[in-house]
Structure 1
Amino acid sequence: MAYSKAQGTLVINAWNEMKDDAATFALKFFLRLFEIIPSATKRFSFLHDSSLPLEKNPKLKAHAMSVFVMTCEAATQLWKTGKISVGNTTFAKLAAAHVKAGITDVHFEVLKFALLETIKEAIPYMWSPEMKEAWSEAYDHLVAAIKSEM
């Protein structure tokens, strides 16, 4: 089920505002996650042997960018096509990676909170209860598609 035209417009306009600085927002997204659940860093193998601060870790930056862009693009695709798509990967691959990392419902919920807070901080002049609902619904669709393969 796709969300309304108004919700789609909110999501598309928000993503268009964030795209140019997506790398910054992506890193903030993951740093917010690690602020809420510090132990989440243990779920990322590329962080295990790193002595770099998280905000300077190039592998984290790349991963964060990939996840943030995929999530935002998936949100816009829900509006444009009525379904979620994930670019150059599959839901089965995403599900396998999440299962391997031991991701549970609580992790998905914290990630949702971190995403919404990041968007709110990125574009406070556009933020509204309606925008929060639109992004929440899009995220929920994405997670449902991943979970269906887990």
Structure 2
Amino acid sequence: MTLIYDPRTTTRRSSDLSKHSADVFAEAEDHTVQITRRDGEPLVLMSQREADARDALLQFAADLITVTLDDEGTLASRMADRFQWMLALSLGDQAQCAQDLVNAARASFATGQSHLAIAELTSWRETATAIAAGLVVHPVEWLEGPERVERP
């Protein structure tokens, strides 16, 4: 049973791996390759990056399931308990973050593209980190028109 659907998976015979290993390895750097064997269960060859992305997505899924099992408070408050960096966000941003993370996770699970959820999670976490560090948005003051400045 496949936990994460990947439409780009290709299938190669074990003899291809021994005869054309460079080609099979090049494929595995781009997408998952299933290696079929006559004497056993198929094996999967993928990059460490892809394996790490799948692990991160599964951990995120476990965290979301834990959050949804709790019935006290709002989704945003339950997620802030699990992802404590969310506490650096305003209440409105916490609600938006929670919804964005759920939507990105659903899209990742539906398409097999783990980067959708992980990128959203990373983006919100980095935003919260920047806010906690005091990097807030200040309004920009634009000049009325071009000004001449001396050459340095």
TM-score (norm 1): 0.30
Larger RCO (CA under 8 A, 6+ residues apart): 1
TM-score, length-normalised on structure 2?
A: 0.30
Structure with the largest fraction of strand = 2
